[in-house]
């Protein structure tokens, strides 16, 4: 993580986003959505002789190097908090795209964390109580489905906005690259010496330094508020204890008299043992406000903080090497995620969205507001493509593109407003019959001149 003057991660929108219109219209039901998404994921690209690129920005087939073509067969998934809701980690947003879960929730800013001892106390106190929820969370059917699609060769990579590291835990590490766009909560990094430290050990130290908070956490755990995987029930039980959890592992303390100002947190163990670094701690090892060094920060991108440059580049590469982009469980409210979708669209890539509630830039993504029209025609779709492209830019363009998208029945783009785990699990069943593997083999054969 580095600091620059231009923050890329901002507070998500707090006003409602317009609800998503299903594309194709048959995707409004679960069976229709599963069919459309299966079409989207298995549509040939771009080695099919009938393929017509839907954007003039897309290089023609002959100019793409074979090595890139071979990689541009698979789908990149861009996942967000909506995918982890079924794992018991609440979304920032309710179904209408607003902060319905906790109206008073406000995440900490990077500059506050770095410069303000009191703000860090508050952050770590809430994080201490919220950590068991994150630590115990396991991947749900949605994560398992993503893993299955990766195993089938349909999905070639995942870029996730989630900091819960759930894409790597369902059973084994995914056989594809996972890019944690905003980092993960599983490690901490020292702001002075950059040494990474495990969050689990840090939690034990927090417990030792804060016996009152530790007792509260024990009570909370005994109340089983943290032991249910049903998010509604979890919130009900936590609510009974006066607690609310947020997706970054933070927890609210309304109605409790514990003071954040009493919370203590440790210094970086590496800095403490380095005689060249001046680290101030009390007799128990808690960091003092006067300490010029040794501040540990969760290894996640905070609001007001720029993305890690290497991670940013890796995510851009993943987009460039993918055939299509599927957004899962994200409103794309953070610009760092939205710009990846923009990048895909500017390359003429097909984009799908499976997310409950409105999505930022919906018109732009689906109706060609930027980077050309999404539905500029598909040889498989009946030959109206040239006409649609010719009319691009005119008034009424959106209606034409909507019609083209409908003809594609999901191949050109999908917009599904249903729970991701239901849709993805269904798609795995549909595609599990070997249809996709066969198609991809055929495509590879054609590409290497053996089909």
> With respect to Zn ion, which residue has the nearer C-beta, 196 or 390?
196
Binding-site sequence positions: 190, 193, 268, 271
Q: Which of 268, 327, 341, 351 binds Zn ion (CB under 5 A)?
A: 268
Query: What is the distance, to the nearest Å, from the Cα of residue 238 to the centroid of all Cα atoms in its chain?
Result: 25
Answer yes or no whether residue 311 interacts with Zn ion by CB under 5 A.
Answer: no
Please give the angle made by the CA atoms of 329, 146 and 235, to the nearest 5 degrees. 45
Answer yes or no whether residue 190 interacts with Zn ion by CB under 5 A.
Answer: yes
Answer yes or no whether residue 192 interacts with Zn ion by CB under 5 A.
Answer: yes
Length of the chain: 451
Complete DSSP assignment for 270-294: HHHT-TTS---B-TTSBBPTT-SS-
> With respect to Zn ion, which residue has the nearer C-beta, 257 or 290?
290
> With respect to Zn ion, which residue has the nearer C-beta, 230 or 278?
278
Q: Which of 180, 186, 235, 270 binds Zn ion (CB under 5 A)?
A: 270
- Does the annotation mark 197 as catalytic? no
Which residue(s) pair with 327 in the sheet? 78, 353
> With respect to Zn ion, which residue has the nearer C-beta, 190 or 427?
190
CB atoms within 10 A of CB 31: 11
Which residue(s) pair with 281 in the sheet? 287
Compute CA distances 338 → 11, 12, 174, 288, whole Å: 13, 11, 24, 39
> With respect to Zn ion, which residue has the nearer C-beta, 78 or 271?
271
Answer yes or no whether residue 193 interacts with Zn ion by CB under 5 A.
Answer: yes
Q: Are 414 and 36 in contact (CB under 8 A)?
A: yes
Token pair for 316: 């851009």
Stretch of 58-66, 115-123, 261-269, 413-421 contacting Zn ion, by CB under 5 A: 261-269
Q: Are 169 and 185 in contact (CB under 8 A)?
A: no
CA-closest candidate to residue 184, choices 174, 172, 169, 170: 169
Q: What is the dihedral of CA 302, 308, 314, 317, to 10 degrees?
A: 90
CB of 204 to Zn ion, least distance (A): 18
Answer yes or no whether residue 178 interacts with Zn ion by CB under 5 A.
Answer: no
Binding-site sequence positions for Zn(2+): 190, 193, 268, 271
> With respect to Zn ion, which residue has the nearer C-beta, 294 or 408?
294
Q: Are 358 and 383 in contact (CB under 8 A)?
A: no
Stretch of 69-77, 246-254, 266-274, 372-380 contacting Zn ion, by CB under 5 A: 266-274
Q: Where in 4-148 does DSSP place strands (E)?
A: 75-79
Answer yes or no whether residue 418 interacts with Zn ion by CB under 5 A.
Answer: no
Answer yes or no whether residue 191 interacts with Zn ion by CB under 5 A.
Answer: no
CA-closest candidate to residue 171, choices 148, 189, 205: 148
Token pair for 323: 């055939």
Stretch of 186-194, 218-226, 359-367, 370-378 contacting Zn ion, by CB under 5 A: 186-194
d(CA 303, CA 182): 10
Answer yes or no whether residue 331 interacts with Zn ion by CB under 5 A.
Answer: no
Stretch of 172-180, 214-222, 260-268, 330-338 contacting Zn ion, by CB under 5 A: 260-268
CB of 297 to Zn ion, least distance (A): 10
CB of 294 to Zn ion, least distance (A): 5
CB of 197 to Zn ion, least distance (A): 9
CB of 268 to Zn ion, least distance (A): 3
> With respect to Zn ion, which residue has the nearer C-beta, 155 or 296?
296
Query: What is the distance, to the nearest Å, from the Cα of residue 395 to the centroid of all Cα atoms in its chain?
Result: 34
Size, binding site for Zn ion by CB under 5 A: 6
Catalytic option among 167, 182, 197, 201: 182
Answer yes or no whether residue 279 interacts with Zn ion by CB under 5 A.
Answer: no
Residue 384, burial from CB neighbour count under 10 angstroms (0-12, 13-18, 19+): middle
Token pair for 268: 């970086």
CB of 106 to Zn ion, least distance (A): 28
Answer yes or no whether residue 295 interacts with Zn ion by CB under 5 A.
Answer: no
Answer yes or no whether residue 299 interacts with Zn ion by CB under 5 A.
Answer: no
Q: Which of 43, 176, 253, 271 binds Zn ion (CB under 5 A)?
A: 271
d(CA 428, CA 187): 32
CB of 210 to Zn ion, least distance (A): 21
Residues annotated as catalytic (active site), given as ranges: 182
Q: Which residues bind Zn ion (CB under 5 A)?
A: 190, 192-193, 268, 270-271
């Amino acid at each position: 993580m580095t600091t620059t003057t231009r923050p890329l991660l901002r507070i998500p929108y707090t006003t409602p986003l317009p609800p998503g219109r299903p594309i194709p219209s048959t995707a409004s039901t679960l069976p229709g959505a599963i069919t459309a998404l299966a079409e989207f994921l298995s549509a040939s690209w771009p080695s099919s002789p009938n393929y017509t690129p839907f954007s003039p920005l897309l290089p023609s087939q002959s100019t793409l190097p074979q090595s890139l073509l071979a990689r541009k067969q698979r789908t990149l998934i861009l996942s967000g908090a909506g995918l982890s809701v079924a794992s018991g980690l609440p979304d920032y947003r309710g179904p209408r795209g607003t902060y319905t879960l906790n109206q008073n929730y406000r995440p900490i800013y990077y500059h506050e964390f770095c410069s303000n001892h009191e703000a860090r106390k508050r952050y770590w106190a809430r994080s201490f109580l919220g950590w068991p929820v994150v630590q115990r969370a396991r991947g749900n059917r949605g994560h398992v489905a993503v893993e299955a699609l990766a195993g089938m060769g349909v999905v070639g990579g995942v870029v996730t906005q989630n900091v819960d590291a759930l894409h790597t835990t369902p059973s084994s590490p995914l056989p594809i690259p996972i890019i944690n766009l905003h980092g993960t909560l599983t490690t901490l990094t020292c702001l002075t010496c950059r040494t990474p430290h495990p969050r689990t050990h840090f939690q034990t130290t927090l417990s030792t330094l804060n016996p009152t908070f530790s007792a509260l956490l024990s009570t909370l755990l005994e109340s089983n508020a943290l032991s249910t995987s049903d998010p509604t029930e979890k919130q009900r039980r936590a609510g009974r204890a006066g607690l609310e959890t947020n997706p970054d592992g933070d927890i609210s303390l309304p109605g409790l008299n514990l003071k954040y100002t009493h919370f203590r947190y440790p210094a970086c163990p590496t800095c403490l043992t380095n005689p060249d670094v001046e680290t101030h701690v009390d007799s128990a090892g808690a960091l003092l406000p006067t300490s010029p060094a040794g501040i540990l920060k969760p290894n996640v991108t905070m609001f007001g903080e720029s993305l890690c440059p290497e991670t940013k580049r890796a995510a851009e590469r993943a987009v460039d090497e993918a055939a299509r982009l599927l957004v899962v469980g994200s409103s794309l409210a953070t610009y760092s995620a939205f710009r990846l979708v923009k990048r895909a669209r500017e390359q003429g890539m097909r984009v799908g969205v499976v997310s409950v509630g409105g999505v930022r830039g919906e018109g732009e993504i689906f109706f060609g507001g930027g980077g050309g029209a999404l539905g500029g025609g598909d040889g498989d779709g009946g030959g109206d493509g040239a006409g649609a492209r010719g009319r691009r830019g005119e008034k009424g363009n959106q209606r034409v593109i909507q019609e083209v998208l409908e003809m594609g029945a999901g191949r050109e783009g999908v917009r599904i407003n249903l729970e991701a785990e239901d849709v993805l699990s269904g798609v795995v069943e549909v595609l599990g019959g070997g249809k996709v593997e066969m198609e991809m083999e055929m495509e590879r054969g054609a590409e290497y001149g053996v089909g």
